[in-house]
Amino acid sequence: MMLIVLGVFVCGTIWTVLFSFTNIKILPIFTPKEWIDGFVGLANYRRLFNTDRWMSCPAITHIGMADWRFTCTGALPNMVTYAVLSIAIAVSLGFLLAVLMDQKIRAEGVFRTIYLYPFALSFVVTGHVWAWIMSPEYGLQASMRQLGWDSFSFGWIADRKMVMYAIVIAGIWQGTGFVMALMLAGLRGIDEDIWKASKVDGIPAWRTYIQIVIPMMKPVLVTIFVIVTSGAVRIYDLVVAITDGGPGISSDVPSRYIYQNFSANLGQSLSASTVMLVAMAIVLIPWIRMEFGKKSQA
């Protein structure tokens, strides 16, 4: 059973990579002859990166880290923006919440359920709720204005430049509770005597967290990083539910791009998939290294 699953998984992946180098138009083709006949080298990739919808960097000559997001547009940069921001914020917020929770507060169970609740929802539900909250006509902006705050304005969802940040907010709302739950489990796994020893040593609590506890939580942190990042890399449903890629195509993401090009432009879709595959592999490397590193040490 394991072998069949693994076989399908590996074959599918190899097939995707191989045929991303061909001018394939229709499914299914499987033979080496078809592959050789249709071989076009890196043409799909060249075309992909020349497509504005995928990625467009008009000011590529003066890319600075600070204004990178505003320089490049398209599905791939959108995904990177989403991934970097949502991971950074969800992980730090999740950690802070976990630390607060770790102070043995009363009614911890209630809080944990509340924080975890969003994670139990489908991205589609989250997306629609947030689309509604952030919609200028019905949501937060309308409510605030009704309450008399006339100058209040929150229209990120309709703003080409800000729409990705609106999606980031929804993603954080959904993911932070999960990160917190994992972090809390990690914190609880720390031997209580470590805390006692650090107190006797006179080490302030925040330094104990940063210099002793966090390094001890490395396995949990890597796992969190891999889960959250792979989630961000293949983000799809949240975007579809909130904006469906709009306004225009300003909040398009790779998964959506691949899906939409699948029938019209199969070769390019496959090469985009391969790009995502590589991105995912990069994310997984620290995890793999950790797992295998452990074995070689033992």
Which token pair is 283?
């994310």
Interacting positions 42-101 with another protein (CB under 8 A): none
Of 159, 147, 188, the closest CA to residue 248 belongs to: 159
| Cα torsion through 187, 188, 189, 192, rounded to 10 | 100
**Spatial contact of 184 and 109, defined as CB atoms under 8 Å apart:** no
Regarding 200 and contact with another protein (CB under 8 A), the answer is yes
Which residue in 25, 128, 160, 196 binds another protein (CB under 8 A)?
A: 196
Scanning 104-112, 115-123, 196-204, 219-227 for contacts with another protein by CB under 8 A, the matching segment is 196-204
Which token pair is 71?
């320089």
**Residue 138 identity (one-letter amino acid):** Y
**Spatial contact of 51 and 261, defined as CB atoms under 8 Å apart:** no
Regarding 150 and contact with another protein (CB under 8 A), the answer is no
Least distance in angstroms from the C-beta of 218 to another protein: 8
Least distance in angstroms from the C-beta of 298 to another protein: 11
Which token pair is 188?
């609880």
Report the half-sphere exposure of 257 (CA within 13 A, side-chain side).
31
Name residue, tokens 């899906």: 259
Name residue, tokens 């299914």: 28
Least distance in angstroms from the C-beta of 196 to another protein: 5
Can you tell me the distance from the alpha carbon of 173 to that of 37, in angstroms, rounded to the nearest whole number? Answer: 49
DSSP 62: G
Which token pair is 72?
């490049």
Scanning 89-97, 159-167, 201-209, 237-245 for contacts with another protein by CB under 8 A, the matching segment is 201-209
Count the helices and strands in the chain (H runs, E runs). 16, 0
Residues 6 or more apart from 221 whose CB is under 8 A from it? 186, 214
Radius of gyration of the chain (CA): 23
Regarding 202 and contact with another protein (CB under 8 A), the answer is yes
Least distance in angstroms from the C-beta of 286 to another protein: 17
Least distance in angstroms from the C-beta of 108 to another protein: 16
Least distance in angstroms from the C-beta of 192 to another protein: 9
Least distance in angstroms from the C-beta of 109 to another protein: 17
Nearer to another protein, 195 or 225 (CB): 195
Which residue in 199, 288, 289, 292 binds another protein (CB under 8 A)?
A: 199
Nearer to another protein, 151 or 296 (CB): 296
Which residue in 191, 264, 296, 298 binds another protein (CB under 8 A)?
A: 191
Nearer to another protein, 188 or 199 (CB): 199
**Spatial contact of 67 and 294, defined as CB atoms under 8 Å apart:** no
Nearer to another protein, 128 or 199 (CB): 199
Strand partners of residue 39: 22
SS3 22: strand
Least distance in angstroms from the C-beta of 297 to another protein: 9
Nearer to another protein, 12 or 204 (CB): 204
Nearer to another protein, 124 or 194 (CB): 194
If you count them, how many residues does the chain have? 298
The contact pattern for another protein, residues 205-234, with x = CB under 8 A and - = no contact, is: --x---xx--xx------------------
Positions touching another protein (CB under 8 A) are 191, 193-194, 196-204, 207, 211-212, 215-216
